[in-house]
Amino acid sequence: TQWYDVDPRRLTLDHVPRELYDGELRNALSGRWYHIRERAIRWVDARVVRMAIATDVTDRKRVDEENRAQQERLQRTSRLITMGEMASTLAHELNQPLAAIANYSMGCVNRLQSGEYRREDILTAMQKASAQAERAGKIIRRVREFVRKSEPRRAPVSLAGIVDDAIGFLEVDARRHGAQVLNQLPHDLPPVFVDAVMVEQVVLNLVKNGIEAMRDTPAEERVLIVSAHCVEHDQVEVEITDHGPGLSDEARERLFTPFYTTKSEGMGMGLNICRSIVEFHEGRLWVDANPAGGCIFRFTLPLETIRETASLDA
């Protein structure tokens, strides 16, 4: 603890000492972390002085860093497992544009070899082949971005774009189950301040679970809806509504517990990881019963305004 004379401007209008600083600093020489708290107080001789208390928190920071690294490894492993489970789906999704490219290219070759062709026809076919190549490249980039190893990077992003990418992964899976997935996010939804890949992992997992839950639902009712709305002034609430069989009270209580699963296959870690990702973003994930049958998974995320508020507070 140290004492210093303090500038009178550090007092309020009522001459009450202000708090000066509360945060963590790293000693560049020793490498140790300290929690520093400073405030102005009145000393016994009526002088206003500054009291500084430094608490060594190096061990706590080390444990926090190890836990964070372990959580990142777990999340990436989960993404790799998800891609492994969807390997046949992705292969089918890639096969369509590749087959189209082959057909357009062979059509051009045949026309050119015959000597009977119009320049406009060749140009149209090549433009279509190019569009399919772009589509295939987008699929590959999406997979690579999803499974890449990286530090969490929170930035202002479009939630509708994240949902579109997640649904794009599951298009073939949805068709295979005879399900329809609807993105009903409003166009005027403000940006969210999140790590896009992490949130995409949450949406992908919840939508995939919802599609699988509706396998025994009558075909005309196999509709899953993703919607969202702002709550208060700094959060958005996302809702993923399915029309499956729903969950028992016991299952709803234990659903987010590690290694608990309602499926015959799987490790029971997906929803637990989803919850940890949402909580990393200062949000909350929970499930309610759908009055029309099925489940409604809800989670909250911070809007970009939360970053602006933090900047003003700093």
The rounded distance, in Å, linking the Cα atoms of 77 and 82 is: 9
Distances (CA, A) of 187 to 195, 217, 238: 20, 30, 14
Question: Are both 156 and 286 inside the same structural domain?
Answer: yes
* Tens digit of each residue's pLDDT (9 = 90 or more) over 32-52: 888 888 777 777 777 777 778
The rounded distance, in Å, linking the Cα atoms of 136 and 152 is: 27
Q: Token pair for residue 37?
A: 């708290």
* Phi, psi for residue 79 in degrees, rounded to 5: -65, -40
CATH number of the domain where residue 201 is located: 3.30.565.10
Average pLDDT over residues 300-309: 73
| Stated length of the chain | 314
Question: Are both 125 and 173 inside the same structural domain?
Answer: no
154: nearest Cα among 190, 198, 187: 198
* Tens digit of each residue's pLDDT (9 = 90 or more) over 189-207: 999 999 888 888 889 889 9
Range of the domain at 27: 2-56
Question: Are both 208 and 290 inside the same structural domain?
Answer: yes
Query: Is 62 contained in some domain?
Result: no
Question: Are both 15 and 34 inside the same structural domain?
Answer: yes
Query: Is 186 contained in some domain?
Result: yes
* Tens digit of each residue's pLDDT (9 = 90 or more) over 55-111: 898 888 888 887 777 767 666 666 666 666 566 656 766 777 788 888 889 889 988
Among residues 10, 34, 56, the one where a domain terminates is 56
Question: Are both 206 and 291 inside the same structural domain?
Answer: yes
The rounded distance, in Å, linking the Cα atoms of 159 and 186 is: 10
pLDDT band at 13 (very low <50, low <70, confident <90, very high): very low
pLDDT band at 6 (very low <50, low <70, confident <90, very high): very low
CATH number of the domain where residue 109 is located: 1.10.287
Q: Judge whether residue 222 has pLDDT over 90.
A: yes
Query: Is 61 contained in some domain?
Result: no
Q: Judge whether residue 239 has pLDDT over 90.
A: yes
Check: CB of residue 2 under 8 Å from CB of residue 52.
Answer: yes
Among residues 149, 183, 210, the one where a domain terminates is 149
Q: Judge whether residue 263 has pLDDT over 80.
A: no
Query: Is 63 contained in some domain?
Result: no
* Tens digit of each residue's pLDDT (9 = 90 or more) over 268-278: 456 877 888 88
Query: Is 165 contained in some domain?
Result: yes
Question: Are both 157 and 306 inside the same structural domain?
Answer: yes
pLDDT of the residue at 100 = 82
Query: Is 128 contained in some domain?
Result: yes
75: nearest Cα among 150, 161, 160, 4: 150
Average pLDDT over residues 15-25: 67
Q: What is the tally of structural domains in the chain?
A: 3
